[in-house]
Amino acid sequence: MSIIFITGGTGYLGSNLIKSLNYERNDIWVIKRSISATNRLDGYESKINYFNIEEGLSKLFESKKEVETIIHLATNHGRNNEKEEEVYRVNFDFPKELFDLSLSCNVSTFINADTGLPPDFNAYTSSKKKFKNYAKKEIKESNMKFFNLEIENFFGPNDSEGQFTTQLISSCLKDLDKIDLSSGNQIRDFFHIQDLIECINHIMKCSTKLDKGFYNLPVGSGEAIPLKFFCSLVKKKTGSKIKLNFGAIPYRENEVMNSVADLSDIKRLGWTPRISLSKAIDMTLKDWKF
Protein backbone atom coordinates (compact mmCIF):
# COMPACT_ATOMS: atom_id res chain seq x y z
CA MET A 1 0.00 0.00 0.00
CA SER A 2 1.32 3.44 -0.98
CA ILE A 3 1.59 6.06 1.76
CA ILE A 4 0.67 9.61 0.73
CA PHE A 5 1.15 12.78 2.79
CA ILE A 6 -1.09 15.71 1.81
CA THR A 7 -0.86 19.28 3.08
CA GLY A 8 -3.82 21.58 2.58
CA GLY A 9 -6.07 18.53 2.66
CA THR A 10 -8.76 20.31 4.66
CA GLY A 11 -9.02 23.08 2.08
CA TYR A 12 -11.08 23.28 -1.09
CA LEU A 13 -8.69 21.67 -3.55
CA GLY A 14 -7.20 19.22 -1.06
CA SER A 15 -10.51 17.88 0.22
CA ASN A 16 -11.84 17.34 -3.29
CA LEU A 17 -8.62 15.62 -4.32
CA ILE A 18 -8.75 13.32 -1.30
CA LYS A 19 -12.29 12.27 -2.18
CA SER A 20 -11.03 11.16 -5.61
CA LEU A 21 -8.23 8.90 -4.34
CA ASN A 22 -8.27 5.11 -4.24
CA TYR A 23 -8.43 4.22 -0.56
CA GLU A 24 -7.82 0.52 -1.14
CA ARG A 25 -4.41 1.25 -2.64
CA ASN A 26 -3.36 4.33 -0.68
CA ASP A 27 -2.75 5.10 2.99
CA ILE A 28 -3.56 8.81 3.20
CA TRP A 29 -2.23 11.17 5.86
CA VAL A 30 -3.51 14.75 6.00
CA ILE A 31 -0.99 17.14 7.54
CA LYS A 32 -2.87 20.04 9.12
CA ARG A 33 -2.85 22.63 11.88
CA SER A 34 -4.62 21.57 15.07
CA ILE A 35 -7.10 24.44 14.60
CA SER A 36 -7.95 23.56 10.99
CA ALA A 37 -11.63 22.89 10.33
CA THR A 38 -12.19 19.42 8.86
CA ASN A 39 -15.83 19.78 7.83
CA ARG A 40 -14.98 19.49 4.13
CA LEU A 41 -13.94 15.89 4.86
CA ASP A 42 -16.97 14.89 6.92
CA GLY A 43 -17.82 11.27 6.18
CA TYR A 44 -14.25 10.35 5.25
CA GLU A 45 -12.87 10.05 8.78
CA SER A 46 -12.49 6.26 8.53
CA LYS A 47 -10.59 6.49 5.24
CA ILE A 48 -7.91 9.05 6.11
CA ASN A 49 -5.52 9.86 8.94
CA TYR A 50 -4.86 13.29 10.44
CA PHE A 51 -1.53 14.55 11.71
CA ASN A 52 -1.24 17.91 13.47
CA ILE A 53 1.81 19.84 12.36
CA GLU A 54 2.37 21.11 15.89
CA GLU A 55 3.58 17.61 16.80
CA GLY A 56 6.57 18.07 14.48
CA LEU A 57 6.95 16.84 10.92
CA SER A 58 10.00 14.73 11.77
CA LYS A 59 7.82 12.62 14.09
CA LEU A 60 5.50 11.74 11.22
CA PHE A 61 8.34 10.88 8.86
CA GLU A 62 10.00 8.70 11.51
CA SER A 63 6.79 6.73 12.01
CA LYS A 64 5.99 6.39 8.30
CA LYS A 65 9.33 5.65 6.66
CA GLU A 66 7.64 4.07 3.62
CA VAL A 67 6.02 7.28 2.41
CA GLU A 68 6.18 7.44 -1.39
CA THR A 69 4.32 10.62 -2.35
CA ILE A 70 4.01 14.14 -0.97
CA ILE A 71 1.25 16.40 -2.30
CA HIS A 72 1.83 19.91 -1.04
CA LEU A 73 -1.27 22.09 -1.47
CA ALA A 74 -1.17 24.26 1.67
CA THR A 75 -1.02 27.95 0.74
CA ASN A 76 -1.30 31.39 2.26
CA HIS A 77 -2.50 33.92 -0.33
CA GLY A 78 -2.11 36.86 2.03
CA ARG A 79 -5.70 37.97 1.47
CA ASN A 80 -6.50 38.49 5.16
CA ASN A 81 -3.90 41.16 5.90
CA GLU A 82 -1.33 38.63 7.07
CA LYS A 83 2.17 39.96 7.59
CA GLU A 84 4.71 39.08 4.93
CA GLU A 85 6.58 36.93 7.45
CA GLU A 86 3.50 34.74 7.92
CA VAL A 87 3.00 34.36 4.17
CA TYR A 88 6.63 33.27 3.80
CA ARG A 89 6.35 30.91 6.77
CA VAL A 90 3.52 29.01 5.12
CA ASN A 91 4.70 29.22 1.52
CA PHE A 92 8.45 28.77 2.00
CA ASP A 93 9.57 27.73 5.49
CA PHE A 94 6.99 24.99 5.92
CA PRO A 95 7.36 23.36 2.47
CA LYS A 96 11.17 23.65 2.76
CA GLU A 97 11.07 21.56 5.94
CA LEU A 98 8.67 19.13 4.28
CA PHE A 99 10.90 18.87 1.21
CA ASP A 100 14.13 18.43 3.21
CA LEU A 101 12.58 15.60 5.23
CA SER A 102 11.30 14.05 2.00
CA LEU A 103 14.82 14.04 0.56
CA SER A 104 16.31 12.49 3.69
CA CYS A 105 13.63 9.77 3.65
CA ASN A 106 14.03 9.05 -0.07
CA VAL A 107 10.47 10.01 -1.00
CA SER A 108 10.07 9.24 -4.69
CA THR A 109 7.44 11.82 -5.73
CA PHE A 110 6.76 15.39 -4.59
CA ILE A 111 3.86 17.32 -6.16
CA ASN A 112 3.86 21.04 -5.40
CA ALA A 113 1.00 23.48 -6.00
CA ASP A 114 2.57 26.66 -7.38
CA THR A 115 1.03 29.64 -9.16
CA GLY A 116 1.14 30.78 -12.75
CA LEU A 117 1.58 34.40 -11.61
CA PRO A 118 5.07 36.01 -11.73
CA PRO A 119 7.25 36.25 -8.59
CA ASP A 120 7.19 40.05 -8.43
CA PHE A 121 3.40 40.30 -8.09
CA ASN A 122 3.19 40.07 -4.29
CA ALA A 123 4.46 38.20 -1.22
CA TYR A 124 2.34 35.16 -2.09
CA THR A 125 3.89 34.70 -5.53
CA SER A 126 7.44 35.58 -4.46
CA SER A 127 7.33 33.08 -1.58
CA LYS A 128 5.94 30.34 -3.82
CA LYS A 129 8.66 30.94 -6.42
CA LYS A 130 11.35 30.99 -3.72
CA PHE A 131 10.36 27.46 -2.71
CA LYS A 132 10.21 26.34 -6.33
CA ASN A 133 13.76 27.57 -6.93
CA TYR A 134 15.01 25.99 -3.71
CA ALA A 135 13.57 22.60 -4.63
CA LYS A 136 14.89 22.81 -8.19
CA LYS A 137 18.40 23.39 -6.86
CA GLU A 138 18.38 20.81 -4.08
CA ILE A 139 16.81 17.97 -6.04
CA LYS A 140 19.73 17.58 -8.44
CA GLU A 141 21.61 15.00 -6.37
CA SER A 142 18.54 12.96 -5.42
CA ASN A 143 16.34 10.29 -7.02
CA MET A 144 13.17 12.27 -6.46
CA LYS A 145 10.68 13.35 -9.09
CA PHE A 146 9.47 16.85 -8.28
CA PHE A 147 6.39 18.13 -10.11
CA ASN A 148 5.89 21.88 -9.81
CA LEU A 149 2.37 22.73 -10.96
CA GLU A 150 1.98 26.37 -12.00
CA ILE A 151 -1.78 26.46 -11.55
CA GLU A 152 -4.01 29.03 -13.20
CA ASN A 153 -7.53 30.05 -12.09
CA PHE A 154 -9.41 26.87 -11.21
CA PHE A 155 -12.93 27.12 -9.83
CA GLY A 156 -15.91 25.02 -8.85
CA PRO A 157 -18.93 24.96 -6.56
CA ASN A 158 -18.60 26.49 -3.10
CA ASP A 159 -14.95 27.43 -3.10
CA SER A 160 -13.63 29.73 -0.37
CA GLU A 161 -15.38 33.10 -0.13
CA GLY A 162 -12.13 34.96 -0.76
CA GLN A 163 -11.89 33.64 -4.31
CA PHE A 164 -12.90 36.05 -7.07
CA THR A 165 -14.92 33.42 -8.93
CA THR A 166 -16.86 32.57 -5.76
CA GLN A 167 -17.65 36.21 -5.09
CA LEU A 168 -18.78 36.75 -8.69
CA ILE A 169 -21.00 33.67 -8.89
CA SER A 170 -22.48 34.25 -5.44
CA SER A 171 -23.28 37.87 -6.28
CA CYS A 172 -24.98 36.83 -9.51
CA LEU A 173 -27.01 34.07 -7.85
CA LYS A 174 -28.13 36.47 -5.14
CA ASP A 175 -29.06 38.90 -7.93
CA LEU A 176 -27.43 41.82 -6.17
CA ASP A 177 -27.85 45.31 -7.61
CA LYS A 178 -24.23 45.50 -8.71
CA ILE A 179 -20.70 44.22 -8.25
CA ASP A 180 -17.79 46.64 -8.56
CA LEU A 181 -15.02 45.40 -10.83
CA SER A 182 -11.87 46.60 -12.52
CA SER A 183 -11.98 47.40 -16.22
CA GLY A 184 -11.82 43.65 -16.87
CA ASN A 185 -9.19 43.73 -19.60
CA GLN A 186 -7.01 41.16 -17.88
CA ILE A 187 -6.52 37.89 -19.75
CA ARG A 188 -6.92 34.83 -17.55
CA ASP A 189 -7.04 31.06 -17.81
CA PHE A 190 -10.15 29.66 -16.08
CA PHE A 191 -10.72 25.91 -15.65
CA HIS A 192 -12.80 23.55 -13.53
CA ILE A 193 -11.44 21.98 -10.36
CA GLN A 194 -12.27 18.52 -11.69
CA ASP A 195 -9.73 18.96 -14.47
CA LEU A 196 -7.08 19.91 -11.91
CA ILE A 197 -7.89 16.89 -9.75
CA GLU A 198 -7.63 14.61 -12.78
CA CYS A 199 -4.31 16.23 -13.64
CA ILE A 200 -2.85 15.51 -10.19
CA ASN A 201 -4.13 11.94 -10.27
CA HIS A 202 -2.61 11.49 -13.73
CA ILE A 203 0.79 12.69 -12.51
CA MET A 204 0.65 10.28 -9.59
CA LYS A 205 -0.05 7.38 -11.95
CA CYS A 206 2.56 8.22 -14.57
CA SER A 207 5.35 9.27 -12.17
CA THR A 208 6.61 5.70 -11.81
CA LYS A 209 7.40 5.66 -15.53
CA LEU A 210 9.30 8.96 -15.54
CA ASP A 211 12.94 9.76 -14.90
CA LYS A 212 14.01 11.48 -11.71
CA GLY A 213 14.31 15.24 -11.81
CA PHE A 214 12.42 18.52 -11.72
CA TYR A 215 9.30 18.95 -13.86
CA ASN A 216 7.83 22.44 -14.19
CA LEU A 217 4.26 22.09 -15.46
CA PRO A 218 1.88 24.99 -16.17
CA VAL A 219 -1.70 23.74 -15.63
CA GLY A 220 -4.96 25.29 -16.79
CA SER A 221 -7.25 25.24 -19.80
CA GLY A 222 -4.66 26.82 -22.05
CA GLU A 223 -7.32 29.25 -23.29
CA ALA A 224 -6.96 33.03 -23.04
CA ILE A 225 -10.19 34.42 -21.57
CA PRO A 226 -10.76 38.16 -21.05
CA LEU A 227 -11.97 38.73 -17.51
CA LYS A 228 -14.82 40.86 -18.82
CA PHE A 229 -16.00 37.98 -21.01
CA PHE A 230 -15.89 35.53 -18.09
CA CYS A 231 -17.93 37.83 -15.87
CA SER A 232 -20.50 38.42 -18.59
CA LEU A 233 -20.82 34.69 -19.27
CA VAL A 234 -21.43 33.94 -15.59
CA LYS A 235 -24.08 36.67 -15.48
CA LYS A 236 -25.79 35.25 -18.57
CA LYS A 237 -25.80 31.67 -17.30
CA THR A 238 -27.21 32.64 -13.90
CA GLY A 239 -29.92 34.79 -15.48
CA SER A 240 -28.95 37.58 -13.12
CA LYS A 241 -29.85 41.24 -13.61
CA ILE A 242 -26.82 42.36 -11.63
CA LYS A 243 -24.85 45.31 -12.96
CA LEU A 244 -21.27 44.36 -13.73
CA ASN A 245 -19.75 47.70 -12.79
CA PHE A 246 -16.56 47.52 -14.86
CA GLY A 247 -14.02 50.25 -14.13
CA ALA A 248 -15.38 50.98 -10.64
CA ILE A 249 -12.16 49.90 -8.93
CA PRO A 250 -8.54 50.32 -10.06
CA TYR A 251 -6.25 47.51 -11.06
CA ARG A 252 -4.23 46.01 -8.22
CA GLU A 253 -0.65 47.11 -7.78
CA ASN A 254 1.59 45.17 -10.19
CA GLU A 255 -1.53 43.78 -11.88
CA VAL A 256 -0.77 40.93 -14.28
CA MET A 257 -2.58 41.57 -17.54
CA ASN A 258 -1.97 38.19 -19.19
CA SER A 259 -1.66 34.82 -17.47
CA VAL A 260 -2.40 31.70 -19.50
CA ALA A 261 -0.92 28.21 -19.12
CA ASP A 262 1.28 26.80 -21.86
CA LEU A 263 0.17 23.16 -21.78
CA SER A 264 2.97 21.80 -24.00
CA ASP A 265 4.86 20.02 -21.18
CA ILE A 266 1.86 18.57 -19.36
CA LYS A 267 0.42 17.31 -22.64
CA ARG A 268 3.67 15.44 -23.27
CA LEU A 269 2.94 13.58 -20.04
CA GLY A 270 -0.43 12.53 -21.45
CA TRP A 271 -2.85 14.96 -19.80
CA THR A 272 -5.17 17.49 -21.40
CA PRO A 273 -8.13 19.37 -19.87
CA ARG A 274 -11.51 18.04 -20.97
CA ILE A 275 -14.06 20.52 -19.57
CA SER A 276 -14.88 23.61 -21.63
CA LEU A 277 -15.38 26.97 -19.94
CA SER A 278 -19.11 26.92 -20.66
CA LYS A 279 -19.50 23.43 -19.22
CA ALA A 280 -17.32 24.32 -16.22
CA ILE A 281 -19.68 27.17 -15.30
CA ASP A 282 -22.73 24.93 -15.84
CA MET A 283 -21.26 22.23 -13.57
CA THR A 284 -20.43 24.80 -10.92
CA LEU A 285 -23.92 26.28 -10.91
CA LYS A 286 -25.56 22.85 -10.85
CA ASP A 287 -23.69 21.84 -7.68
CA TRP A 288 -23.77 25.21 -5.94
CA LYS A 289 -25.06 25.06 -2.36
CA PHE A 290 -26.74 28.10 -0.85
Report the pLDDT value the prediction gives residue 162, as an integer from 0 to 100.
Answer: 85
Of 10-19, 222-231, 281-290, where does mean pLDDT reach its minimum? 281-290
What's the whole-model pTM score? 0.96
Of 23-27, 58-62, 88-92, 112-116, where does mean pLDDT reach its minimum? 23-27
CA 225 – CA 187 distance, rounded (Å): 5
Under DSSP, the state recorded for 116 is S
Which is more confident, 73 or 158? 73
Cα pseudo-dihedral 27, 129, 41, 23, rounded to 10: -20
Half-sphere exposure of residue 46: CA atoms within 13 angstroms, side-chain side: 2
Report the pLDDT value the prediction gives residue 174, as an integer from 0 to 100.
Answer: 96
Report the pLDDT value the prediction gives residue 97, as an integer from 0 to 100.
Answer: 98
Name the superfamily (CATH) of residues 1-151: NAD(P)-binding Rossmann-like Domain (3.40.50.720)
CA 273 – CA 219 distance, rounded (Å): 9
CA 176 – CA 264 distance, rounded (Å): 41
Report the pLDDT value the prediction gives residue 238, as an integer from 0 to 100.
Answer: 97
For residue 228, pLDDT over 70 is answered with: yes
Q: Using pLDDT thresholds of 50, 70 and 90, give the confidence band for residue 24.
A: confident
Q: Which residue spans within the chain are E strands per DSSP?
A: 2-7, 26-32, 49-52, 67-72, 109-115, 145-151, 153-155, 178-180, 187-188, 190-192, 213-219, 225-226, 243-245
Report the pLDDT value the prediction gives residue 25, as an integer from 0 to 100.
Answer: 76
Bridge partners for 32 per DSSP = 52
Q: Using pLDDT thresholds of 50, 70 and 90, give the confidence band for residue 141.
A: confident
Average pLDDT over residues 18-42: 93
Q: Where are the domains of the chain?
A: 1-151
Report the pLDDT value the prediction gives residue 23, as an integer from 0 to 100.
Answer: 81
Report the pLDDT value the prediction gives residue 290, as an integer from 0 to 100.
Answer: 67
What is the tens place of the pLDDT at every residue in 163-218? 999 999 999 999 999 999 999 999 999 999 999 999 999 999 999 999 999 999 99
What is the tens place of the pLDDT at every residue in 57-102? 999 999 998 999 999 999 999 988 899 999 999 999 999 999 999 9
